[in-house]
Structure 1
Amino acid sequence: MKKSSKLSKLSLVISAALFSSTLALTSAPVLANWPVQVDGQVMPSLAPMLEHITPAVVSISVIGTHKVPQQNVPDAFKFFFGNKRQSQPQPQPFRGLGSGVIIDSEKGYIVTNYHVIENADEIMVTLKDGRQLEAIKIGSDAKSDIALLQIKSDNLIEIKLADSDELRVGDFAIAIGSPFGLGQTVTSGIVSALGRSNLNIEHYEDFIQTDAAINSGNSGGALVNLRGELIGINTAIIGPGGGNVGIGFAIPSNMMHNLIKQIIEFGEVHRGILGVSGRSVNSEIAKAMELNISQGGFIEQVMPDSAADEAGIKAGDVIVGMNGKSIKSFLELRAKIGSIGANTTVNLTIIRDGDKKVFTVKLKQDQSADISPASIHRMLAGAQLENSTKKQAIIIEQVAQGSPAQMAGLKAGDIITGVNRKRIKDIAQLRDYLKDKTGVLALNIVRDNHAQYIMIR
């Protein structure tokens, strides 16, 4: 299962030291016979609503293999065995548990988290009525931690989607899933916060925070409102030992829906890109730029020939809204843009020189999103690459333990600035430069503000 450096996924246990195409959705029944009367007294209950929607939340079990490194060969034996036996990754079987939500009963579509089914060779779905069905993976998106499965069966129940943009802090929320493999469990709470980001859980973060009790195994389960509508997909927690401390995070239903539409149409996410770099507005930026606002996405740079450039957006602009909904931070803007498909047109509300203007932007496709490091060069396999528009370079976000990238000497946080002294600005340019190259290559790396070379063959 995938694990963040700061937060664990709900299907895992973390230590206390860690910080911590439109879908054809039919109407789901709403609260019935609520409140009820017992001995003449009104007794509010969630039971009538839950009886209708809990069959749409499933338990997921997976069997698979992932690669783990062998122990290093002691130096004394390298003379006999050579370095080829050092840290060679070996297949290791694993089993995992999670949850999922049926969003289309006719087609058997189930949404879950990517980390629940990552590296899975076999995916089994258990319905609330006890039926066990094998599922196939339609597609997934690791950067937003979303996956779409499909099962074939009759008499399935689906959950209607709510408009997660309409949520308010204080709204009631109910979490449904299968914690610790105990079977389906329901807990309740409220929406504690909205637009949570900068948690280093995913690349694209715009989480709903809730205090509804969720635990390990709830990953991929449902967060619903009092009408029994899906408002989010439970994804991560902060808590010692994987237990609940009242801080859980869910992917908003609107973000999930945008991604799933693309997976259904293309089998993968065709991520849109605006072509800007920036930061969230704070008091210092507001004072320096003489802004009369305290929230929004401040644009520091606009990439030439990007969607933003063609729409007329400029450095110094502050994006405060998208399609009529407010934008509170640059990270929220990044997450919302990143979940919308390429070639989609959006209306951005911008503050420029104190005046509010609306710009219509047609998003371009993020070409680098479809390029796997292993397809660029075999020694980059296991590295997670990300374009840095601010630095005009490539940042290595993560390096998998025992991967070729780790054996080559690459580390998380390294910045690739060139190859063989040729300046490289992004992942696509790196791929194009290396496609015909053979032999030894020298990667220009900046590590801890010091330039160095790493040789790969």
Structure 2
Amino acid sequence: MMRQAAHTRREISFRWWRAAAIAGWLAVGIGVVGMTAEAAPSIGSAPGQETRPILVSTGALPPNEALVAVAERATASVVNIASSRKVAVGEPFGPFYGDPFWRRFFGEELGPRGPRREEREFGEGSGVIVSSDGYIMTNNHVVEGAEELTVILPDKRRFKAKIIGTDPRTDLALIKIDAMGLPPLPWGDSGKLRVGELVLAVGSPFGLTQTVTMGIVSAVGRANMGIVDYEDFIQTDAAINPGNSGGALVNLKGELIGIPSAIFSQTGGYMGIGFAIPSNMAKSVMASLQKHGKVIRGWIGVSIQELTPELAKEFGVKDAKGVLVADVLDDGPAAKAKLERGDIITAYDGKPVTNPTQLRMLVADTAPGTTVTLTVVRDERTREVKVTVGELPRETARASGEIEGDHALAGIVVEPAPRDRSGRRVGGVWVVDVDPGSPAALAGLRPGDLIREINRKPVKSVEDFERMAGRLRPQERVLLLVTRGNATIFLSISPQ
């Protein structure tokens, strides 16, 4: 599997001179000769156990042999993951809808309306062994919704895998197989990556296991891509295709520095722009999933936005440095610390704040209960505000979660409703996403709808919605009151 970003981008061609430049680099031998490898302990390793380094001694191997050694070591730690699940499918007007003649006249937009049947859906992705006792990191979208997971090792052995935990907000997942003595890939420090470094991508594109491609780090810190909630991507031009998801991006020390997760493509395949989740983020998520079965993040309870030059002028500051507080949530840590709407946060515990994504990452990485100092500009005066970071509450965290189950509301992703102009919270819950094959989607529910009632009972929060959805019986019909734009309508949803 490979997540494809929704944005459209121009195709970036693979230039002949780039290949020539790399070939010339190899001939000169810059960068590889003289490297030494250090062993990095794995988070998932048994106590006292360390992963083995790449056996590349200083000056001992020619550059090409060094690359071969890194590739051999990396491929030994990358696995193939096969998933399967049952899905309900149907065809409008019975089997005749599959005929191109009928599709030509009736179109695709009618959706499935005929008898529904169950079929088994299969998917493939990759994973990285991160401990000798069977822990494997991969992407959440590789295992999401899977009823059965099979891990195929490089030596062709097959194991059933169980999910230890998933984190949709970063698109990461931790799974485990019952095996010992596996070769984990040592962790690298993604914070030290530099643009232009050579990297290798290892995975199973299109089911072609143990595939290795080479490229460079094109950029670091890519965010605001609209792929996941917490984004700090490594951009690379190493060829990444469907099936690479969850595999390894390694540096020339043979260290894991990223987990390939998404691509920009107009064709569904490689176009020179791929994105990997940095290893430092993956390590943090893994540790939390191992310890808690979920990811615990810090939270201060503010809505923030970019401080543009125009907004900076309106708020009386000379430079557009920092982020603007658009809202302060009632009873949250920021509200208790007297932070106000219109404040400009310029530093977080001494670290300069340059954009909203950076601040969100800093807060999320802070352990709940920690007191931090925010440097704030208010009314053209700089002050310091101490805030005790809380834990991201379930309601807020659920903004990127999916309502699960076998009832009529399964497959809906909701978040708290926005505030009105007076600052009061609007009743209901905001629909962020709807599974295309879900009963709600078939009934006409859309992202952007505001659900105000379920079965004639008001919905005031995400918790209300989850509680009501959890009480639904599998075959129970549901009546929703929905506000869409300036119109309010009823939707009747029948379970599959």
> In which range does the TM-score fall when normalised by the shorter chain?
0.7 to 0.9
- Aligned-partner residue type, residue 125 of structure 2: G
Distance verdict in 2 for CA 1:437–1:137, change over 3 Å: closer
- Aligned-partner residue type, residue 403 of structure 1: S
Q: Map 1:16-415 to 2 at 5 A.
A: 23-24=43-44, 26-30=50-54, 32-36=56-60, 45-71=66-92, 86=113, 90-105=117-132, 107-294=133-320, 296-322=322-348, 327-334=353-360, 337-338=363-364, 340=365, 343=368, 345=370, 347=372, 349-353=374-378, 355=382, 357=384, 359-368=386-395, 369=397, 373-374=403-404, 378-389=407-418, 392=425, 394-415=429-450
What secondary structure is seen at the aligned counterpart in 2 of 1:249? strand
Contact 1:145/1:202 (<8 A) preserved: yes
What secondary structure is seen at the aligned counterpart in 2 of 1:233? strand
Identity of aligned residues (%): 37
* Distance in 2 between residues matched to 1:139 and 1:125, nearest whole Å: 16
Q: Which segment drifts farther, 261-270 or 219-228?
A: 261-270
* Distance in 2 between residues matched to 1:225 and 1:346, nearest whole Å: 36
1:345 offset after TM fit, Å? 2.8
- Aligned-partner residue type, residue 255 of structure 1: M
Contact 1:286/1:293 (<8 A) preserved: yes
Say which one has the larger Rg. Answer: 2
- Aligned-partner residue type, residue 6 of structure 1: A
Distance verdict in 2 for CA 1:28–1:344, change over 3 Å: farther
* Distance in 1 between residues matched to 2:174 and 2:433, nearest whole Å: 24
* Distance in 2 between residues matched to 1:318 and 1:152, nearest whole Å: 51
Contact 2:151/2:161 (<8 A) preserved: yes
Q: Deviations over 1:307-332 (max 9, x none)?
A: 22234433233345556655442234
- Aligned-partner residue type, residue 430 of structure 2: I
Distance verdict in 2 for CA 1:437–1:157, change over 3 Å: closer
Greater relative CO (CA pairs within 8 A, separation 6+): 1
* Distance in 2 between residues matched to 1:381 and 1:226, nearest whole Å: 45
Matched residue, 1:447: 484
The alignment's TM-score, normalised by the length of structure 2, stands at: 0.74
1:98 offset after TM fit, Å? 1.0
1:276 offset after TM fit, Å? 1.3
What secondary structure is seen at the aligned counterpart in 1 of 2:89? strand
- Aligned-partner residue type, residue 274 of structure 1: I
- Aligned-partner residue type, residue 82 of structure 2: S
* Distance in 1 between residues matched to 2:334 and 2:152, nearest whole Å: 46
Distance verdict in 2 for CA 1:44–1:349, change over 3 Å: farther
Q: Where do 5+ consecutive residues of structure 1 fail to align?
A: 9-13, 17-21, 75-84
The alignment's TM-score, normalised by the length of structure 1, stands at: 0.80
- Aligned-partner residue type, residue 219 of structure 2: A
Q: Where do 5+ consecutive residues of structure 2 fail to align?
A: 12-41, 96-111
* Root mean square deviation, CA, Å: 3.8
Distance verdict in 2 for CA 1:203–1:361, change over 3 Å: same
Q: What is the number of residues matched between the two proteins?
A: 431
1:130 offset after TM fit, Å? 3.2
- Aligned-partner residue type, residue 46 of structure 1: L
Q: Which segment drifts farther, 417-426 or 433-442?
A: 433-442
1:237 offset after TM fit, Å? 0.4
Distance verdict in 2 for CA 1:305–1:447, change over 3 Å: same
* Distance in 1 between residues matched to 2:351 and 2:187, nearest whole Å: 18
What secondary structure is seen at the aligned counterpart in 2 of 1:262? helix
